[in-house]
Amino acid sequence: MNVNQLLKQQVLSELERAVNTYLEKNNLTSLKESLKIRIEYSRDEKFGDYSSPFALENKNILNKNPKEIAEALLLEIKNEKFFEFVSFSPPGFLNFRIQTQFLKEYVNSVISGNVVFAETPKKEKILLEFVSANPTGPMNIVSARSAAYGDALANLLTSLGHTVKREFYVNDYGNQVYLLGVAVLLRIFESKGETISFQEEESDESVFELIKKRILPKESYRGEYIKDIAIQCLEDNEKTKYVFDLVHSEKWDEVINFLSRYAVEYNLSRQKEDLTLFGVNFDLFFSERSLHEAGDVEKVPTILKKEDVTTIDGKLHFLSTLYGDDKDRVIRREDGRPTYLMADIAYHYNKFARGFDTLIDIWGPDHYGYIARLKGAVKSFGKEDESFRVLIAQQVNLIENKEKVKMSKRLGIFQTMRDLLSYLGKQGKDVGRYFFLMRSSDAPLDFDLDLAKDESDKNPVFYIQYAHARICSIFRELQVPMDLKLLQAGISDDFLKQEERTRLLFWVARLQEEVYDTATSFEPHRLTNYLQSLSKSFTKFYSQKDNRIKDKTGNERDTLLALVLYTKYALESGLKLLGISAPEKMSKEEN
């Protein structure tokens, strides 16, 4: 058997070989392409490590009952060096238990001080764009979820051998940024002692007319953080003079554009600080404004297929319905101004022009409807559908005392990413990242603040970290170096055959395929589930009196030390991929 191949792939290969032999013996090879052959983990460990519903799923094609199919296949599966047993369980499952000796050899090949991950045969240059929060205010909780998701995914894809770059797209151009400048200007007036009011209903008055009356437009930003930006600006005498010179000359456009850029720089610097606190580092912050200034946005009609662009009622349309969208989309307005879509098309064209094979975008929960039009544009300018993938980071509900915490950006009554990290304290990065990752990203997440603050092993991330720290404490107590090479000579298969020891060894052996499956499915929550199960297996193993290592000597002690050291490396590498620390000391480690 190949110890460099994923375990389940080896099980699948054995099953496929048996199926082929069965088909040949029964003159059924013509049915081969119709059969479904798959391997899954056993739902109950007492039946084995892996199982296959082959007999159940193919009974109609083979025109035989599942038991008859399974019994025939059992006769063909005879690899005793790999399988401890292969069995049948109703209504139609084949069960496979891996030999302990093979598991040990496999684990030793994967974990020997450094964890070796399975690499994909096709390595790509990938640009992963995520977070990309508007620089109109602090990053919210969904942005924090996107940050955890994107960073973990980048680590996972890198583990497969891909070259991955992390990018943050800065939306520093357009009406929302302009309105940010308006809000800062009104707050500057307020900071200077003037009274401002808030527009509650739409009117025909222009933004300039409202500013003259010291009225903040309804659609502008009202959060308290705008006051902070205004105060920061006023602390710079040169900037203050420049602003009020423009105000006195009623050069409203100039002063608003100046303050817009100032506010964007201020907010972006704060966002970068938050990301650093969260352990997320980007390779590039890409400015939308740079696309406009370089003329790339205006070139969009020329990079799309000629037949995909047309003018309707004075507006330039991209015929996105040709690519599955529900309606065609305007990319240039009657007055010549580009739409957001036009800039986004230019941006994604720019990404490919930089030499990336695959683009992965992580978007927020309100962008589902945007996928078809942008994927259509990517096809229109000549890229294959599989070269551009969009993932969604769904809504987050903060739960405190079993009730939802209200959030609203423009009204300034929302919890920010910084608020959350501060609330969670010194473990905020680890706890925050884990909680954001422990559910599928495309499903809404209830973030339980009370559980996140709990420092006991009821907190799922601490449960894993305590397991890791406990293993480290074993070596400290015994004054033994954590060196597998010193232990491997003393490992005895006989001492691994006790049930909980074998189960723990199998959970460690699953690391490589769990990481591979997590990365290829773009689902980091699968790795959190695995780490929970591995920690649970270790805790169950260690709670048994017969596995108290300090009471053992000789080969049995070395065998158990090697087993828990394998476990330590598996926990550590899994946490590292998620961007979470693996502490060697914690307050409950000795319990």
* DSSP H stretches of helix in 446-550: 449-453, 460-478, 484-488, 499-509, 511-521, 525-543
Q: What is the dihedral of CA 554, 558, 560, 563, to 10 degrees?
A: -160
Q: Can you read off the two tokens belonging to residue 33?
A: 């392409």
Q: How far apart are CA 572 and CA 26, in angstroms?
A: 49
- 78 close to 114: Cβ distance less than 8 angstroms: no
**Please, which residues have CB within 8 angstroms of residue 260's CB and are 6 or more apart in sequence?**
177, 178, 180, 181, 184
Nearest to 304 by CA among 314, 317, 294, 292: 317
Q: How far apart are CA 107 and CA 570, in angstroms?
A: 10
Between 80-84, 97-101, 447-451, the lowest mean confidence (pLDDT) is in 80-84
Q: At what angle do helices 237-248 and 224-234 cross, to 10 degrees?
A: 100
Count Cα neighbours of 381 within 13 Å in the Cβ-side half-sphere. 25
Q: How far apart are CA 311 and CA 22, in angstroms?
A: 63
Question: Could you say which of 275, 302, 321 is where a domain stops?
Answer: 275
Residue 129, pLDDT above cutoff 60:
yes
Whether 400 is in a domain gets the answer no
What's the chain's Rg over C-alpha atoms?
A: 30
3-state SS string for 120-174:
CCCCCEEEEECCCCCCCCCCEHHHHHHHHHHHHHHHHHHHCCCEEEEEEEECCCC
- 117 close to 511: Cβ distance less than 8 angstroms: no
Give the sheet arrangement for strand 309-312, strand by strand: 309-312, 315-318, 329-332
**Beta-strand pair 315-318/309-312:** antiparallel
Whether 326 is in a domain gets the answer no
- Give me the phi and psi of 416, to 5 degrees please: -95, 170
Residue 108, pLDDT above cutoff 70:
yes
Q: How far apart are CA 163 and CA 500, in angstroms?
A: 39
Q: What pLDDT does 588 receive?
A: 64
Instruction: Bin 313: left if φ > 0, else alpha if -120 < ψ < 50, else beta.
Output: left
Q: What pLDDT does 78 receive?
A: 80
Question: Could you say which of 246, 275, 304 is where a domain stops?
Answer: 275
**Beta-strand pair 388-392/358-363:** parallel
Whether 409 is in a domain gets the answer no
Q: What pLDDT does 485 receive?
A: 82
Helix (H) or strand (E) holding 101: helix 100-110
Write out the residue range of the structural domain in which residue 11 sits. 7-98
Whether 292 is in a domain gets the answer no
Percent of the chain with pLDDT over 70: 97
Q: How far apart are CA 591 and CA 587, in angstroms?
A: 9
Angle at 290 between CA 284 and CA 293, to 5 degrees: 170
Nearest to 85 by CA among 67, 102, 69: 102
In the 8-state DSSP scheme, what is residue 416? B
Question: Could you say which of 74, 98, 122 is where a domain stops?
Answer: 98
Q: What pLDDT does 526 receive?
A: 98
Q: How far apart are CA 47 and CA 70, in angstroms?
A: 15
Q: Can you read off the two tokens belonging to residue 113?
A: 């001080």
Same-domain status, 479 and 574: yes
pLDDT in tens, 295-337: 999 999 999 999 999 999 999 999 999 999 999 999 999 999 9
Residue 383, pLDDT above cutoff 90:
yes
Residue 410, pLDDT above cutoff 60:
no
pLDDT bucket at 408, cuts 50 / 70 / 90: low
Mean pLDDT of 165-189: 97
Q: Among all chains, which residue has been given the structure tokens 């905020």?
A: 428
Q: Rounded to whole angstroms, what are the CA distances from 408 to 411, 435, 443?
A: 6, 22, 20
pLDDT in tens, 506-546: 999 999 999 999 999 999 999 999 999 999 999 999 999 99
Residue 53, pLDDT above cutoff 70:
yes
Q: Can you read off the two tokens belonging to residue 491?
A: 């490992």
**Beta-strand pair 284-287/163-170:** parallel
- Give me the phi and psi of 178, to 5 degrees please: -60, -45
Between 75-79, 190-194, 475-479, 577-581, the lowest mean confidence (pLDDT) is in 75-79
58: CATH: 3.30.1360.70
Mean pLDDT of 78-88: 90
Instruction: Bin 27: left if φ > 0, else alpha if -120 < ψ < 50, else beta.
Output: left
SS3 317: strand
Whether 297 is in a domain gets the answer no
Whether 118 is in a domain gets the answer no
Q: What pLDDT does 1 receive?
A: 45
Q: How far apart are CA 155 and CA 416, in angstroms?
A: 25
Helix (H) or strand (E) holding 94: strand 93-98
Same-domain status, 90 and 183: no
Q: What pLDDT does 488 receive?
A: 79
Q: What pLDDT does 297 receive?
A: 98
Q: What pLDDT does 493 receive?
A: 87
Residue 589, pLDDT above cutoff 70:
no
Total count of domains within the chain: 3
Count Cα neighbours of 172 within 13 Å in the Cβ-side half-sphere. 24
Q: What pLDDT does 567 receive?
A: 97
CA 510 centroid distance within chain: 20
Helix (H) or strand (E) holding 108: helix 100-110
Whether 243 is in a domain gets the answer yes
Helix (H) or strand (E) holding 358: strand 358-363
- 226 close to 184: Cβ distance less than 8 angstroms: yes
Strand partners, 111: 115
- 138 close to 255: Cβ distance less than 8 angstroms: no
pLDDT in tens, 228-279: 999 999 999 999 999 999 999 999 999 999 999 999 999 999 999 999 999 9
Residue type, 403: E
- 159 close to 520: Cβ distance less than 8 angstroms: no
Whether 435 is in a domain gets the answer no
SS3 60: helix
- Give me the phi and psi of 42, to 5 degrees please: -65, 135
pLDDT bucket at 2, cuts 50 / 70 / 90: low
Same-domain status, 183 and 74: no
pLDDT in tens, 8-41: 999 999 999 999 999 999 999 999 999 999 999 9
In the 8-state DSSP scheme, what is residue 570? H
- 144 close to 436: Cβ distance less than 8 angstroms: yes
**Beta-strand pair 83-89/93-98:** antiparallel
- 194 close to 214: Cβ distance less than 8 angstroms: yes
Q: Share the mean pLDDT of the chain.
A: 94
Residue type, 2: N
Same-domain status, 182 and 93: no
536: CATH: 1.10.730.10
